[in-house]
């Protein structure tokens, strides 16, 4: 990941071979917004190589990326080649993630999600759609299979389809071992007002992915103050011990002065399995005027 948060830079996108940069007009089908290039909608002809040119006062760098746009064949509703692989354990309420939706979410787009298993609409009451997740009550090995999540994105008066194919592997839960939150470890971080803050909660346990953030003793939801949100679980894998490792990211787009400190707690549920609640405190960094 290219970290440009605190750099004075100019970033421009090009399709390789074109001298003209990608448009910044958001009414264009392909346009640049902030550091991202958007395709609304993407077409097969958009496949190819793209370059991101980053310039500052002293240097210029190029990053090359290859984009592949595919179209499902008639009668095929699941694309195994481009499916995202996820793993869960048989447990009380593991969850599947519909990934990479945060960039589409704003005040006008709440992104209600419809879920399918093996191309059939999920209607079983054991399955509950919540935010980016599909929670499975009393998961069994029979829940393994191919899942698809679908939603709509509204942009400039047009609706665009978004879908993700997920190949789910289910593993039998190991003996009930209390989860371990190994970051944060009750520490403090000094930040500047107006800066972006990202904090990861790293957990290892039999049901590690039942992880949530609290800010000042309030659970984060999708609309917490509009600038603080909890991102999807973006990394999870079953370790050699049979325990599940995952991360949940707390993203504060703009830190504001709301008192001298902001106490953030990482919560592993069910809470009764947690002996301590690791926390991290954000302190206001005073910057005197010159």
| 263 and 226 housed in the same domain | yes
Same domain, 162 and 189: no
Helix, strand, or coil here: 219? Answer: strand
Nearest to 152 by CA among 225, 84, 98: 98
Total number of domains constituting the chain: 3
Among 208, 264, 261, 267, residue whose Cα is nearest residue 236: 208
Domain ranges, residue 234: 180-285
User: Which of 55-59, 147-151, 200-204 ranks highest by mean pLDDT?
Assistant: 147-151
Distance CA 202, CA 233 (A): 10
Is the predicted pLDDT of residue 29 greater than 90, yes or no? yes
Identify the residue with better confidence: 176 or 1.
Answer: 176
Within 13 Å and on the Cβ side, how many CA atoms surround 149?
Answer: 24
Give residue-wise pLDDT tens across range 68-120: 998 877 777 888 888 999 999 887 788 999 988 877 876 566 778 999 999 89
CB atoms under 10 Å from CB of 28, counted, come to 13
Looking up residue 240, the CATH number of its domain turns out to be 2.60.40.10
Any idea of the CA torsion for 244, 231, 22, 53, to the nearest 10 degrees? -60
Q: Do 189 and 262 fall into the same domain?
A: yes
Does pTM top 0.75 for this prediction? no
The tens digit of pLDDT for each residue in 43-64 reads 999 999 999 999 888 888 999 9
- Average pLDDT over the chain reads 76
Confidence class for position 259, pLDDT limits 50, 70, 90: very low
Residue 281 resides in a domain? yes
Do 186 and 162 lie in a common domain? no
């Amino acid at each position: 990941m290219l970290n440009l948060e605190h750099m004075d830079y100019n970033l421009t996108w090009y399709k390789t071979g074109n001298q003209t940069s990608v448009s910044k007009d958001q009414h264009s089908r392909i346009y640049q917004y902030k550091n991202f290039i958007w395709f609304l909608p993407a077409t097969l002809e958009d496949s190819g190589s793209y370059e991101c040119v980053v310039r500052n006062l002293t240097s210029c760098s190029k990053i090359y990326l290859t984009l592949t746009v595919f179209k499902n064949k008639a009668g095929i509703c699941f694309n195994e080649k481009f499916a995202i692989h996820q793993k869960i354990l048989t447990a009380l309420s593991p969850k599947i993630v519909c990934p990479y939706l945060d960039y589409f979410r704003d005040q006008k787009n709440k992104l209600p999600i419809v879920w399918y298993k093996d191309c059939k609409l999920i209607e079983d009451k054991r399955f509950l759609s919540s935010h980016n997740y599909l929670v499975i009550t009393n998961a069994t090995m029979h829940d393994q299979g191919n899942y698809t999540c679908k939603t709509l994105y509204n942009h400039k008066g047009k609706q665009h389809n978004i879908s993700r194919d997920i190949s789910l592997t289910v593993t039998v839960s190991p003996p009930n071992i209390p989860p371990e939150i190994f970051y944060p470890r009750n520490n403090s971080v000094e930040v500047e007002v107006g800066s972006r803050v990202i904090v990861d909660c790293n957990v290892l346990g039999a049901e590690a992915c039942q992880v949530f953030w609290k800010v000042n003793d309030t659970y984060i939801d999708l609309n917490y103050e509009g600038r603080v949100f909890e991102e999807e679980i973006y990394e999870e894998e079953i370790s050699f011990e049979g325990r599940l490792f995952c991360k949940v990211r707390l993203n504060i787009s703009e830190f504001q002065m709301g008192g001298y400190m902001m106490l953030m707690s990482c919560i592993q549920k069910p809470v009764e399995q947690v002996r301590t609640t690791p926390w991290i405190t954000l302190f206001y960094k005073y910057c005197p005027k010159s």
